[in-house]
Chain A
């Protein structure tokens, strides 16, 4: 029996897509997890978001070849997913809890007291970040990723690079004001 060319091409095409997809998973799962965790601050939710992002990629794998920068494209997908989840949940991130932060953050070479103090400080800072306006908070959170340039942050958020810079400037001023206010009130 003769196998038609179209069936062979289809099978080869599918196999190539599968290989490309698994390469994306291996390469970018960690980065996507960190982006998701920085917003949701819950390990299980962040992992769910990463899986959902790749499921969306599978659904639209026909457009995979048209994507220029896969990393920014994937970060944008996971960013939209986590923002949507956060909007729906409307709950405070789990890591605002000091004990949870102390468990999650790296603590090599620190005493138990230092770990507790660091966790308290980080929880306080993260609570202040949560008080920022959405636009400024988003840019500030994404700017913490050393692997993302301002051009890439602009691509993820769908704004211009100059907007990223101005929002980052405002975010820094606002966070300074919030931290000053809490320090003086103590």
Chain B
């Protein structure tokens, strides 16, 4: 039996045989006159397909172009800044002054709530009634306000 790599039996279907097949396909000779036909196609291609070269003065590598590009960038940035400056209005002072609330150290705030304790009317105590004679008899000490003792 011929042991040619081009005639493997179906029982020899292994990864190596798969690569052999691909290798055979990959090494198939190019058709006759391929190069000539490619040359012909390239000759028939119109010259217009060529990308026009930049004039030497406008080449991106030239210093003149670099300077112009840098100036254009500076102009664009400055112009943009000036445009913003002239269009934006200055801040007006607020009519109502809001005090900033400082949050509690734990991260929670009281949301502005103020605790107001419930108040009840206190007991009404009877006022002591003092006679006018008692007031005159015992003059009060100026400092303590108590009746002074006679020695």
Whether B31 pairs with A115 at a CB distance below 8 angstroms is: no
**A121 contacts across to B, CB distance below 8 A:** 7-10, 13, 17, 21
**B146 adjacent to chain A (CB < 8 Å):** no
Contacts A30-B30, A145-B26, A183-B13 known; A122 to B21 CB distance under 8 Å? Answer: yes
Interface 0/1 of A105-119, CB less than 8 Å to B: 111011000110110
- Shortest CB distance B58–A (Å): 14
Whether A118 pairs with B34 at a CB distance below 8 angstroms is: no
**B50 contacts across to A, CB distance below 8 A:** 58-59, 61
Whether A59 pairs with B42 at a CB distance below 8 angstroms is: no
Whether A47 pairs with B34 at a CB distance below 8 angstroms is: yes
Whether A58 pairs with B42 at a CB distance below 8 angstroms is: yes
Q: How far is the CA of A7 from the CA of B38 in the complex (A)?
A: 28
**B42 contacts across to A, CB distance below 8 A:** 21-22, 25, 54-55, 58
Contacts A118-B8, A126-B21, A129-B18 known; A62 to B13 CB distance under 8 Å? Answer: no
Closest to A186 in B: B10
Whether B7 pairs with A118 at a CB distance below 8 angstroms is: yes
Interface 0/1 of B18-52, CB less than 8 Å to A: 11011111111111001101110110010001110
Q: How far is the CA of A51 from the CA of B33 in the complex (A)?
A: 13
Closest to A180 in B: B13
Contacts A25-B42, A51-B37, A55-B41 known; A146 to B23 CB distance under 8 Å? Answer: yes
Contacts A25-B35, A117-B7 known; A110 to B22 CB distance under 8 Å? Answer: no
Q: How far is the CA of A110 from the CA of B8 in the complex (A)?
A: 12
Closest to B10 in A: A121
Number of chain A residues whose Cβ lies closer than 8 Å to a Cβ of chain B: 57
**B9 contacts across to A, CB distance below 8 A:** 117, 121
- Shortest CB distance A95–B (Å): 7
**A167 adjacent to chain B (CB < 8 Å):** no
**A29 adjacent to chain B (CB < 8 Å):** yes
Whether A114 pairs with B2 at a CB distance below 8 angstroms is: yes
- Shortest CB distance B117–A (Å): 76
- Shortest CB distance B13–A (Å): 4
Interface 0/1 of A78-106, CB less than 8 Å to B: 00000000000000000100000000111
Q: How far is the CA of A145 from the CA of B79 in the complex (A)?
A: 59
- Shortest CB distance A19–B (Å): 12
**B121 adjacent to chain A (CB < 8 Å):** no
- Known A-B contacts: A59-B51, A114-B2, A118-B8. Give 4 more (CB < 8 A): A29-B35, A120-B10, A121-B10, A176-B15
Q: Which A residues form the contact surface with B (CB < 8 A)?
A: 21-22, 25-26, 29-30, 33-35, 37-38, 41, 43, 47, 50-51, 54-55, 58-62, 95, 104-107, 109-110, 114-115, 117-118, 120-122, 124-126, 128-129, 140-141, 143-146, 172-173, 175-176, 179-180, 182-183, 186
The 21 listed contacts between A and B (C-beta, < 8 Å) are A29-B34, A30-B30, A30-B34, A33-B31, A37-B28, A50-B34, A51-B41, A54-B42, A55-B41, A55-B45, A60-B51, A106-B6, A106-B28, A110-B2, A117-B7, A120-B10, A121-B17, A126-B22, A144-B26, A176-B15, A183-B13
